[in-house]
Amino acid sequence: MPKFDEVYAEYFDVVYSYALRLSHDPALAEEVTQEAFFKALKKIDGFRGECQLRVWLCQIAKNTYYSLLEKRRRSAPAPEESWPDPAAFEDRFADRETALAAHRELHALEEPYREVFWLRVFGELNFGQIAGLFGKSESWARVTYHRAKMKLKERLDEKGY
């Protein structure tokens, strides 16, 4: 395992770019990147080498990003809102229910389908970037994404969504 300062120097740009794609905010991306590397430093002994180091670091960054969003959401004051009309509320609930079902099914997908789908849809990475993260070909990334989409659709169809 290389020294941590070497890991930081080699992968900082990759992790920062990934965090920037997630957040669309340079300041937040910087915060996510710094926090992700801090967490990685504390857990580097737990890295088992089951995936490439940059994938592991990007996963830490992804989890860090969502943790920071959740923390900010909880600490933000609730906006003043009027009660929605019942029809709009039911529509929103149905959409939210579908979104939650999709979220659950996405997390139930096996690797690498889950991660490739996530990187493509939520990380907004192109197939070349995804392929690079996994050390695979661009066509592998395309096929894996397509299969993930089909598996997710199949699971949602089975559950009536």
pLDDT tens for each residue of 85-133: 545 544 544 567 777 877 788 888 898 998 899 888 877 888 888 888 8
Domain CATH code at residue 60: 1.10.1740.10
Domain CATH code at residue 103: 1.10.10.10
User: Do both 2 and 75 map to the same domain?
Assistant: yes
Report if residue 93 sits inside a domain.
no
Query: Which tens digit of pLDDT belongs to each residue from 60-86?
Result: 999 999 888 888 887 765 554 444 454
User: Residue 94: what pLDDT?
Assistant: 58
Structural domain harbouring 66? 1-80
Among residues 17, 50, 80, the one where a domain terminates is: 80
Report if residue 49 sits inside a domain.
yes
User: Do both 60 and 111 map to the same domain?
Assistant: no
Report if residue 91 sits inside a domain.
no
User: Do both 73 and 120 map to the same domain?
Assistant: no
Our count of domains for the chain comes to 2
Among residues 49, 80, 111, the one where a domain terminates is: 80
User: Do both 72 and 138 map to the same domain?
Assistant: no
User: Residue 12: what pLDDT?
Assistant: 93
Report if residue 26 sits inside a domain.
yes
Q: SS3 letters for the chain?
A: CCCHHHHHHHHHHHHHHHHHHHHCCHHHHHHHHHHHHHHHHHHHHHCCCCCCHHHHHHHHHHHHHHHHHHHHHHHCCCCCCCCCCHHHHHHHHHHHHHHHHHHHHHHHCCCCHHHHHHHHHCCCCCHHHHHHHHCCCHHHHHHHHHHHHHHHHHHHHHCCC
User: Do both 75 and 2 map to the same domain?
Assistant: yes
User: Residue 123: what pLDDT?
Assistant: 78
User: Residue 46: what pLDDT?
Assistant: 78
